[in-house]
Chains A and B, each alone.
Chain A
Amino acid sequence: MKCTKCGQPAVINMRQHRLGLCADHFVEWVPQQVQRAIEKYDMFTPEDRVLIAVSGGKDSLSLWDILLRLGYSVEGIYINLGIPHDSYSDVSQQKVEAFAAAHDTPFRVVNVKREYGESIPEVARRKRGRSPCSTCGLVKRHILNEVTLREGFGVLATGHNLDDEAAVLFQNSLHWATGYLARQAPVLPASHAGLARKVKPLIRLYEREMAAYALVRGIDYIYEECPFSRGATTLFYKELLDQLEAESPGAKQQYYLEFLRARADGRLLPADAGKPVLNQCQKCGQPTTAPGTCSFCRLWDVEEAAHEDSNGDS
């Protein structure tokens, strides 16, 4: 296959766009897609300071690379979760450090164990019945929100791609989880004091394109998956959607982007759907759905953990 633009050998065939591109045109095209998403959804402007959540994976490192190339003012944040299997967390951190050093660009690290006394697997073990992933999600959300606000960033950017979002949409629509459907968006506004603005600039791009971008740009990312992600249902949903995509190119993109359109037009849910009543956590001050202390603070509350244990199963 030849590049649609110049006739050189293509490195990627994007059937949903009827577009094949050579390496040069592809690494030019990807940031254009990102810029389009940033503008279309009013994510941020060159005046905003953007904090990027980086995991060491291909999506977040590529996002970092793209935003730097587009000239935005960005800083990375890496949360070391303390996942010991094959030094997963430490190796990931090294990838982030190497990227930042090569691009001479600032980043910060929050080490969960050093900061709060326990790693993610350790908390999950103490809190029986809480999966590592739900613990991890909760901790990451809290820390990212806190740092974004405390350090005066205008916005927090994450590396979710279209496949990530389509898989979540599929999961949410299987359960008709209308609350989640109402809130799944490329931009989550700072709708409440204490809530940071959150954006997903990669939502127009397929996971395949992000992997290709990282390869062509020579970005050294962590290739192994997190050991806890094995057998995760989202991986299964991604595969299902990929099978659909193989039969009908563009199906994945249409599924997700049309969902956004239908919801924005009010064809799907009433305009006020999914606006939870938020209270302020008595301990850390972050917004929480339940009154009292938020679930993040309760995670580290050893007394309550002992109480939960005495009601627990074993």
Chain B
Amino acid sequence: MADGRLCAKLGLTMKLIYRDQTWELKGKITVRDALKKVGLRPEAVLAVRDGKLITEDVLAGQDDVIRLIAVVSGG
């Protein structure tokens, strides 16, 4: 989780929220790269921004809040 608090200096950060963890990432990167950065398998989660499901090629950054939903759950 060293990447977790990379920096919030410029205020241009993306927030990733997964279960009880939150990461802040700087710059504009794809959802896929963001997931890799924080050590999550892109296949294992779905990404939701502003209540809408987005694909992993979407460029995110600049105050985007991305909620991650585990694919495997429930019985």
Which among B41, B53, B75 is the interface contact of A11 at CB below 8 angstroms? B53
Docked complex: B59-74 residues within 8 A CB-CB of A: 69-74
Judge whether B43 and A1 touch: CB under 8 Å. no
Picked from B41, B54, B71, the residue with its CB within 8 Å of the CB of A211 is: B71
Contact of B53 among A216, A225, A229, A238 (CB under 8 A): A216
- Within the complex, the shortest CB–CB distance from B24 to chain A, in Å, comes to 24
Please state if A13 and B69 are interface contacts (CB–CB under 8 Å): no
Instruction: Tell me if B48 is interfacial: C-beta within 8 Å of chain A.
Output: yes
Decide: B52 and A211 in contact? CB cutoff 8 A. no
Smallest Cβ distance from A176 to chain B, in angstroms? 26
**Contact between chains at B73 and A57 (CB < 8 Å):** yes
List of B residues within 8 angstroms of A211 by Cβ = 46, 69-71, 73
Interface residues of A in 162-204 (CB under 8 A from B): 163
Cα–Cα, bound, A10→B72 (Å): 21
| B56 sits at the interface (CB 8 A) | yes
B56 to chain A, nearest CB (A): 7
Instruction: Tell me what chain A mostly uses at the interface: helix, strand, loop, or mixed.
Output: helix
A211 to B70, CA, bound (A): 8
Instruction: Verify A20–B55 contact, CB threshold 8 A.
Output: yes
Give the CA-CA distance A1 to B30 in the complex, in Å. Answer: 12
| A80 contacts the other chain (CB 8 A) | no
Tell me if A55 and B41 are in contact (CB < 8 A).
no
Identify which of residues 198-214 in chain A touch chain B, using a CB-to-CB cut-off of 8 Å. Answer: 207-208, 211-212
CB–CB A225/B74 < 8 A: yes
Contacts of B58 in A (CB 8 A): 1
Tell me, yes or no, whether A223 is within 8 Å of chain B by CB.
Answer: yes
Contact yes or no, A224 B55, CB < 8 A: no
Q: How far is the CA of A225 from the CA of B46 in the complex (A)?
A: 17
Interface extent on A, as a size class?
Answer: 35 or more
Q: How big is chain B's contact interface, by range?
A: 20 to 34
Q: Do A55 and B75 touch across chains, with their CB atoms under 8 A apart? A: yes
Knowing A10-B55, A13-B57, the reply to whether A215 touches B73 (Cβ < 8 A) is no
Contacts of B55 in A (CB 8 A): 1, 9-13, 20
- CB pair B74–A56 under 8 Å, yes or no, is yes
Cβ-based interface call for B10 (8 A): no
Contacts of A242 in B (CB 8 A): 41, 43-44
Residue of A nearest to B42 (CB): A246
Quote the shortest CB–CB distance from A249 to chain B (angstroms).
Answer: 10
Chain B residues whose CB sits within 8 angstroms of the CB of A144 once the complex forms? none
A44 contacts the other chain (CB 8 A): no
**Chain A residues near B (Cβ < 8 Å):** 1, 9-13, 20, 23, 55-60, 92, 163, 207-208, 211-212, 215-216, 221-226, 229, 235, 238-239, 242-243, 245-246
- B residues contacting A by CB (< 8 A) are 41-44, 46, 48, 52-58, 69-75
- Give me 19 A-to-B residue pairs in the complex whose CB atoms sit less than 8 angstroms apart, sorted by A's number: A10-B55, A11-B52, A11-B53, A11-B54, A13-B55, A56-B74, A58-B73, A60-B75, A92-B75, A212-B46, A215-B46, A215-B69, A222-B74, A223-B69, A238-B72, A242-B43, A243-B41, A245-B43, A246-B41
